[in-house]
Structure 1
Amino acid sequence: MQSFSRFFLATASMAALLLVSSCTVLPSSGPSADAIQSGSKASETPYVLVNVTQAVADMLAQEQARPLSIAFGSAKKTSSSQIGVGDVVSVVIWEAAKDGLFSGGEKGPGAAQIPPQPVSENGTIVVPYAGTIRVAGRTPQEVKGDIEAALKGMAVEPQVLVNVVANNSNTVTVTGEVARSGLIPLLPGGNRLMDIIATAGGPRMESHQLAVQITRGSKSETIPMEQLVSDPRENIYVQPNDVVTLIRQPRNFTVFGASMANASLQFDESQLYLNQALAKVGGLNDDRANARGIFIYRREPADTVRRLAPNARAMYPDGTVNVIYQIDLKDPAGFFVLKSFRVANRDLIYIANSSLAEVRKFSTLISTTASPVIQGAAFASSLHDLSN
């Protein structure tokens, strides 16, 4: 009888093991650390794996937001005092004699006000007796000299004043989350970015919720509003025809895997570091987490990634690359890296399971699968004893 029970139990246990090993996949919240590392070595890998050291974290902190001062330059490149097509120009002419072309007649020397006129598509205006005067791309002082030269010999010591009544060509478009969207004329001395935003009534919400985008020709760059406020170097001069847009851009990150909570969270901090992000979800799960398997999934510009992995190539039309950054918290220095690694908008943070956690899962699954069979074997043995 005992040999029958042992045989039955052994057969049942073996059947359970075969069932688990051949038909069941262990449940998991994502790939293992080994799977990610081995996948990065494949010939056609869909991502680049980067081990994060302190030097890497420091480099990424400098690369995350491209300064406007580098993208566009901080100098005042174009004088907004130049007249452009569409501007409305006023001309006043004085003469020294009472019997001149523009004098006041018997009342003595006077002034003649030429009605304001828009600059034509050819960049010109018309002044009586002086004819057609080219004004586009020139300053009022330069146009003044041209008109006086054209009137020489016809008017008596003419003195000319040229004034731009409506500065329609030297404007910047401001739109988005500002109090008053519209066209803002530029001052002759130039306007900085913060000046333009203030002239538009300022932002309609807190700065940490906004990004500032500047479009100049075919180039467009965006930085967080807080960076513009805190870094004077980013307060660059705007240029005519720039488009300044304040964009509501709440930032978020997602955490999956062996953390105390899996969640997608918004953050308001201008600079959120990885240790702060993990604290927001309660940190790592001590029973499951692989301290060597902290992974951050992100898309980065290929130029940035090549500084870390020279063979990296663009994977998308916009020139970006899939990157997985790995941090090892078994190394005591890894916690300093956590404090230096900046979380970017839409980052996905994944904490892999430890191998011990996988063993626990396997043991639990074996126990769950084999227990009914073993109980059945014990019941069959009892029936066999009763029958004898």
Structure 2
Amino acid sequence: MLVPASLAALLTVSACTVIPSSGPSAGAIESGAKAAETPYVLVNVTQAVADMLSRDQERPLSVAFGSARKQSSSRIGVGDVVSVVIWEASQTGLFSSGESNTGAAQIPPQPVSENGTIVVPYAGVVRVVGRSPQEVKADIEKALSGMAVEPQVLVNVITNNSNTVTVTGEVARSGLIPLLPGDNRLMDVIATAGGPRMESHQLAVQITRGSRSETIPMEQLISDPRENIYVQSNDIITLIRQPRSFTVFGATMANASVQFDESQLYLNQALAKVGGLNDDRANAKGIFVYRREPVERVRGIAPSARAMHADGTVNVIYQVDLKDPSGFFILKGFKVSNGDLIYIANSSLAEIRKFSTLISTTVSPIVQGAAVANNISDLGN
């Protein structure tokens, strides 16, 4: 009677034993998403969801700042250095030097005052801030028309101190870059600063305008013309060395933190980097991607989502079901973001195997001991 009683007790203890696991089961994650105070939003990824997330991540700069020119760099600002030259159609005119058939005067270059003005002899104080050189020229000619002989004026901005952007970070020459009249796009300004100091796949570009900042991979800026937006005065452009990575846990061939250089890494490629799923353990319905997302983006998928953090983000778990034949197409269309955590849940069969192994390794010594005891008893008889 010793063996059956021991086995019964052992099985009772084993049934209450928590089976070791590398993380939650797929069922536990799905159940947690239905709780009243769930700490995350669970999203079942369809092809439509993957496409929507891809579109949301494609044009952060052009969406955030727009792609149109909003301000002309030809306007004069406070601190700019302005040169004025005046010609007359007579040797005896107001500005005549007596050395040629026409009178000419070079007004010494002067910075635009804080009041937005410069001073021109006989024309007096001229307001120039926010105006183009052509508009200032017309005002000076009008002011001199009653005194000078057919005056002709040339106005030039020698030093453009007000229409500049700051370029810093991983560029050859950090500093203030003056904006030229005409098109001033992001890549043009970076090139003027000497270009990046390292491979583009190692860099991200951050543009700060006022209180808003947005960042995209350098490779995306190069490959997508829509992201090469017009810059504006006082923009701050920073090239940041930003190696990107994701982390994989659970039923894969390797659990690791993996750095990647691709500007667009898809989930199938990410899983391939760690050797794919472990066939003996993985639950094909339990492919989960943990990520924090802006609540506005998540509401396009889950309208009831609410911000869970002070920065307006929400915890999201994206679930991909590879039991569905279309799941592999979803893997090819789901983009992995920097900092993502990918978790592969164990299958229920793997948990059963673990339980069986636990029972086997625990019961075997007792059975062997009981057999030895029975043999000794038989010898005694």
For the criterion TM > 0.5, the same-fold answer is: yes
User: Once the 2 structures are TM-superposed, how far is the Cα of residue 368 of structure 1 from its aligned partner?
Assistant: 1.6
What is the alpha-carbon distance in structure 2 between the residues aligned to residue 106 and residue 311 of structure 1?
Answer: 82
Q: Does 1:128 align with 2:95?
A: no
Between 233-242 and 30-39, the greater mean CA deviation after superposition: 233-242
2:74 is matched with 81
2:15 is matched with 21
Task: Give 2:284's aligned amino acid.
Answer: A
What is the alpha-carbon distance in structure 2 between the residues aligned to residue 169 and residue 190 of structure 1?
Answer: 17
Q: Does 1:206 align with 2:202?
A: no
Q: Does 1:12 align with 2:6?
A: yes
SS of equivalent to 1:294: strand
SS of equivalent to 1:178: coil
1:372 is matched with 365
- Structure 2 runs not aligned, ≥5 long: none
What is the alpha-carbon distance in structure 2 between the residues aligned to residue 34 and residue 155 of structure 1?
Answer: 90
User: Once the 2 structures are TM-superposed, how far is the Cα of residue 248 of structure 1 from its aligned partner?
Assistant: 1.4
What is the alpha-carbon distance in structure 2 between the residues aligned to residue 74 and residue 50 of structure 1?
Answer: 32
- Structure 1 runs not aligned, ≥5 long: 1-6
What is the alpha-carbon distance in structure 1 between the residues aligned to residue 51 and residue 102 of structure 2?
Answer: 72
What is the alpha-carbon distance in structure 1 between the residues aligned to residue 154 and residue 329 of structure 2?
Answer: 66
Task: Give 2:118's aligned amino acid.
Answer: I
TM-score when normalising by structure 1: 0.95
User: Once the 2 structures are TM-superposed, how far is the Cα of residue 349 of structure 1 from its aligned partner?
Assistant: 0.8
Q: Does 1:235 align with 2:204?
A: no
What is the alpha-carbon distance in structure 1 between the residues aligned to residue 57 and residue 30 of structure 2?
Answer: 25
CA contact (8 A) 2:94 2:103 kept: no
CA contact (8 A) 1:97 1:103 kept: yes
Which residue, out of 301, 312, 322, partners 2:315?
322
Task: Give 2:9's aligned amino acid.
Answer: A
User: Once the 2 structures are TM-superposed, how far is the Cα of residue 108 of structure 1 from its aligned partner?
Assistant: 4.4
Residue deviations 1:221-249 (CA, integer Å, cap 9, x gap): 11111111111122111111111111111
In the superposition, relative to structure 1, how do residues 97 and 336 fare at CA in structure 2: closer, same or farther (>3 Å)? same
1:344 is matched with 337
What is the alpha-carbon distance in structure 2 between the residues aligned to residue 107 and residue 49 of structure 1?
Answer: 84
Between 190-199 and 65-74, the greater mean CA deviation after superposition: 65-74
What is the alpha-carbon distance in structure 2 between the residues aligned to residue 127 and residue 307 of structure 1?
Answer: 60
Between 199-208 and 31-40, the greater mean CA deviation after superposition: 199-208
Alignment of 1:133-144 (within 5 A): 133-144=126-137
Task: Give 1:96's aligned amino acid.
Answer: A
What is the alpha-carbon distance in structure 2 between the residues aligned to residue 141 and residue 339 of structure 1?
Answer: 56
CA contact (8 A) 1:75 1:236 kept: yes
1:311 is matched with 304
2:156 is matched with 163
CA contact (8 A) 2:40 2:317 kept: yes
Residue deviations 1:319-341 (CA, integer Å, cap 9, x gap): 11111111111111111111111
RMSD of Structure 2 on Structure 1 (CA) = 1.4
TM-score when normalising by structure 2: 0.96
What is the alpha-carbon distance in structure 2 between the residues aligned to residue 190 and residue 296 of structure 1?
Answer: 41
% identical equivalent positions: 79
User: Once the 2 structures are TM-superposed, how far is the Cα of residue 201 of structure 1 from its aligned partner?
Assistant: 1.1
What is the alpha-carbon distance in structure 2 between the residues aligned to residue 336 and residue 178 of structure 1?
Answer: 39
1:90 is matched with 83
User: Once the 2 structures are TM-superposed, how far is the Cα of residue 265 of structure 1 from its aligned partner?
Assistant: 0.6
What is the alpha-carbon distance in structure 2 between the residues aligned to residue 129 and residue 122 of structure 1?
Answer: 19
What is the alpha-carbon distance in structure 2 between the residues aligned to residue 99 and residue 10 of structure 1?
Answer: 129
What is the alpha-carbon distance in structure 1 between the residues aligned to residue 250 and residue 324 of structure 2?
Answer: 20
Residue deviations 1:50-92 (CA, integer Å, cap 9, x gap): 1111111111111124432222121121111110000001111
CA contact (8 A) 2:93 2:103 kept: no
CA contact (8 A) 2:92 2:103 kept: no
Alignment of 1:169-180 (within 5 A): 169-180=162-173
